[in-house]
Structure 1
Amino acid sequence: MRGAMRIPFTKMHGLGNDFVVLDGRNGSLPAMSPPVAKALADRKTGIGCDQLIMLEPSDAADFRMRIFNADGGEVEACGNASRAVALLHGQPARVETSGGVIALEPLDGGARVDMGTPRFGWEDIPLAYAMDTASMPVSWESLENPAAVNVGNPHVIFFVEDPYAVELDRLGPLIETDPLFPARVNVNVASIADGAITLRVWERGVGLTRACGTGACATAVAAIAHKGVTSPVTVHLPGGDLEIAWEQGGTILMTGPATTSFTGSFEWSDFAGDAT
């Protein structure tokens, strides 16, 4: 078993979607595993977060960002975490993620992130079988005919009259784990009024969150592509607002706040146990 190892961390959030960031860009961190990530994310016995973020060296970009959801599963992208990392880095950067290379630019109190190009093919989401992703011929109770967009991770978007009237805490996990989505899926319920979007998100591997950056991107793209919404569009989330800009064939630009909550450190062996 490895000797004592004290690991520094930075606790951050974007519109209340919170992260524990471990900075290993110098190659100093031990290997992360889903059980360790889940233990650190636990709000009662760990540090507590929606996502654990690991920064590592990269040959393809300035550095690499790995993202572990609260259930310990590693995912491809996280828009709110990208803004937090931009704030932490303090200067423009290209960042490698499992969903592709993104570009970060810190701003006063937040950041702008180029999230890359959205994908709409059924195999890109991915879905279990071919169908029209602009208006999928499927439903779960009152939620029907969603759009599907991959923005580094998979999303389905239901446009409804009132997102707050949807029992998303009940329907979200049913849709997330439906066999139609072999990689599971993030579930968005949204309404459009006065050219803006109101959005709630059931996040894959996390649950209901106060904000989801990739959910805002996917929903804005679907609204611009299929609902006649004009770019840029403001997305109202429970935790606050994001601005999303996208033109057909281009990349998605997300602008919004990020904040450092506090810093600290932990003993690696307290969470990794004999696995170290």
Structure 2
Amino acid sequence: MNMTFAKYQGTGNDFVMIDNRQNSFPKNNFKLIEKLCDRRFGIGADGLILLENDVETDFKMVYYNSDGNESSMCGNGGRCLVAYAKSVGLIEEVTTFLAVDGLHHATILDNGLVSLQMKNVSNVKIADDYVFLNTGSPHHVLMVDNLENYDVKTSGAAIRYSDLYNKEGSNVNFVQQISENHFALRTYERGVEDETLSCGTGATAAAIAMNVLGKTKEHHIYIDVEGGKLEVSFVKEGNSYTNVFLKGPATFVFEGEIDC
């Protein structure tokens, strides 16, 4: 079976995109998904995303991690899927789509960046040395020194598999402050089981966590990830965060066919 695909990346977080509006993709073949994401034996990606039909919105997003399992929301993947949907003629600059965590609104900006509305956040756990919140995916956020040389994979895996999160696990984000509204971030992603160059829901979680902790009073936060730069904005209403937007690039890499 030959399969047509496109590959996109958002600040180095890369994805295999497949147009599944005809429902031809074998969604229960987890080994196939894992193979397509494999960087040696497949296309290579942090995840695979299906573009599907939806009755009430422009399209539906179905996201799989590189381990082959369907997963929670992916912010960078959502922005890349918006760019892909435009490339196949499904949308123009403004869209609404359905993902696993609900409805999302997005806009493709003149500079090629994509602004994606994320879910509202009202429940934030504040512990002695970390913050936990869900921005469409679960995120453990902690501040560290010397982030550039930090062992993200070892420390991230230890927290991800700790008794804090049992079998489900959590993504783990390591943050260092640069200025009042500017932070550096490195993320260990569950499902990839390694550090990725960027995590959109992680950047969103880090920005909100830094506001919760009082590290910044700003509502527009700049996040430096290993693969580039992201922006997060929000409105704080009491203990809730609404109108949460993630903005960053969504870049076409290549397209082709692969024999499955």
Q: CA deviation at 1:100?
A: 1.8
In 2, the alpha carbon distance for the partners of 1:154 and 1:181 equals 10
Pick the structure with more strand per residue. Answer: 2
Given that 1:119 and 1:151 are in contact with CA atoms closer than 8 Å, whether structure 2 keeps it comes out as no
Given that 2:185 and 2:223 are in contact with CA atoms closer than 8 Å, whether structure 1 keeps it comes out as yes
- Correspondence for 1:225: 212
| Aligned CA-pair RMSD | 1.6
In 2, the alpha carbon distance for the partners of 1:184 and 1:6 equals 35
Q: CA deviation at 1:27?
A: 3.1
Pick from 41, 45, 59 the counterpart of residue 55 of structure 2. 59
Q: Secondary structure at the match of 1:216?
A: helix
Corresponding position: 1:115 with 2:105:
no
Q: Secondary structure at the match of 2:211?
A: helix
Corresponding position: 1:173 with 2:182:
no
Report the identity percentage: 31
In 1, the alpha carbon distance for the partners of 2:13 and 2:147 equals 19
Listed as ranges, the gaps of 5+ residues in structure 1 are 122-132, 138-144, 271-276
AA paired with 1:176? Answer: R
Report Cα offsets for 1:182-228 as digits up to 9, x if no partner: 42100000011212011000011111111111110000011122224
Query: Could you tell me the TM-score, scaled by structure 1's length?
Result: 0.84
In 2, the alpha carbon distance for the partners of 1:109 and 1:148 equals 32
AA paired with 1:159? Answer: M
Report Cα offsets for 1:220-263 as digits up to 9, x if no partner: 01112222411211001111110100121313101111110000
Equivalent pairs counted in the alignment come to 245
Listed as ranges, the gaps of 5+ residues in structure 2 are 87-91
Corresponding position: 1:39 with 2:42:
no
Pick from 151, 166, 179 the counterpart of residue 194 of structure 1. 179
Given that 2:17 and 2:84 are in contact with CA atoms closer than 8 Å, whether structure 1 keeps it comes out as no
In 1, the alpha carbon distance for the partners of 2:231 and 2:13 equals 16
- Correspondence for 2:135: 151
Query: Could you tell me the TM-score, scaled by structure 2's length?
Result: 0.89
- Correspondence for 2:250: 258
AA paired with 1:226? Answer: L
Q: CA deviation at 1:48?
A: 0.7
Q: CA deviation at 1:9?
A: 0.3
